[in-house]
Amino acid sequence: MTPTRQGSFRLFEFRGIEVSLHWSWFLVGAYVLTSRADEYASPFWNVAEYLALFALVLLHEFGHSLACRSVGGHSDQIVLWPLGGVAYVAPPQRPGAQLWSIAAGPLVNVALVPVLYGALWLAGERGLYDTQPDFMEWLLTLNFINAILLAFNLLPIYPLDGGQMLRSVLWYFMGPANSLLVATVLGFLGGLALITYGLLAGRLWTAVLAAFLLFNCWQGFRFARLLRAHLAAEQARARAEPPPVP
Ligand SMILES: [Zn+2]
């Protein structure tokens, strides 16, 4: 259920990282261009808003990819699809390397907070609310999107960044398998809470997203159990092996 090259087409390549766009991003485009058409006097700004959303998600994903590479991991593909972007990262199997690769995505959004807010403040100081209301609305929306991306990704619901960061921290104390077990169980509870909220509040998109998270959480939980069995078998084998002959 994770996006693949299927249904996506290549846009460009940067530092050996291929960026692809899933066809369903055009649905997002249609939504941004039509449902928010009244927000601006000119449709130019709706297009600019769509491109800005695209850029913010892309920067976040590049944060993951470049951080993963900085610790010796592999990452050569980013796919943008409607539930966000996915950077295919394979960091080394160490908690510190995993933590850095995951945390770097939200850290990009953190770094953007003062930049975007500073731009908004500066533009406001120059009186652009009166002369360039569309531009100001666009800048406000950018601040909003960046904050939402940051807050949402930090939810401790595996496989969101927050859930994966929690897993990496737990890894220091309980190893790769048990940390994933705990993170996915907590993620499952968080996902259920999110789906309940989505259904009760009539936010269908949130409910769909939560269902997707739950599915991935379940996959993670199954993998954690396999990993635990595998590690236990390895330990038993190591114990059974005769000591080396001097
Ligand atoms: Zn992320």
- Residue-wise pLDDT for 114-140, tens only, equals 999 999 999 999 988 888 889 999 999
Strand order in the sheet with 74-81: 8-14, 17-22, 74-81, 84-90
Q: What is the distance in A from the centroid of ligand 1 to the CA of 245?
A: 50
For residue 142, the CA-to-ligand 1 centroid distance in Å is: 18
Amino acid at site 178: N
**pLDDT above 90 covers what percent of the chain?**
60
Distance 101 CA to ligand 1 centre (A): 9
What's the confidence (pLDDT) of residue 39? 82
Distance 236 CA to ligand 1 centre (A): 37
105 C-alpha to ligand 1 centroid (Å): 5
CA of 104 to the centre of ligand 1 (A): 8
Asked if the model's pLDDT at residue 160 lies above 80, the reply is yes
Q: How far apart are CA 154 and CA 102, in angstroms?
A: 10
Task: Give 67-120 pLDDT, tens digit per residue.
Answer: 999 999 999 889 887 667 788 889 999 999 999 999 999 999 999 999 999 999
Measured in Å, residue 4 CA sits from the centre of ligand 1 at 17
Report CA torsion sign: 77, 154, 23, 214. Answer: positive
3-state secondary structure of 50: helix
pLDDT at 1 over 50: no
Q: How many CB atoms lie within 10 A of CB 18?
A: 15
The pLDDT value recorded for residue 46 is 86
Q: State yes or no: pLDDT of 174 exceeds 60.
A: yes
The phi and psi torsions of 81 (rounded to 5 degrees) equal -140, 170
2-16, 55-69, 141-155 — which is least confidently predicted?
Answer: 2-16
Kindly report the average pLDDT of the chain as a whole number.
Answer: 89
Predicted confidence at residue 5, as pLDDT, reads: 64
Whether 167 shows a pLDDT value over 90: the answer reads yes
In the structure encoding, which two tokens stand for residue 81, read together? 């699809």
Range list of β-strands (E), the chain: 8-14, 17-22, 74-81, 84-90
Percent above pLDDT 70 for the chain = 94
- What does each C-alpha distance from 12 to 15, 58, 65, 78 come to in angstroms? 10, 12, 15, 10
Segment among 3-7, 210-214, 224-228 with least mean pLDDT: 3-7
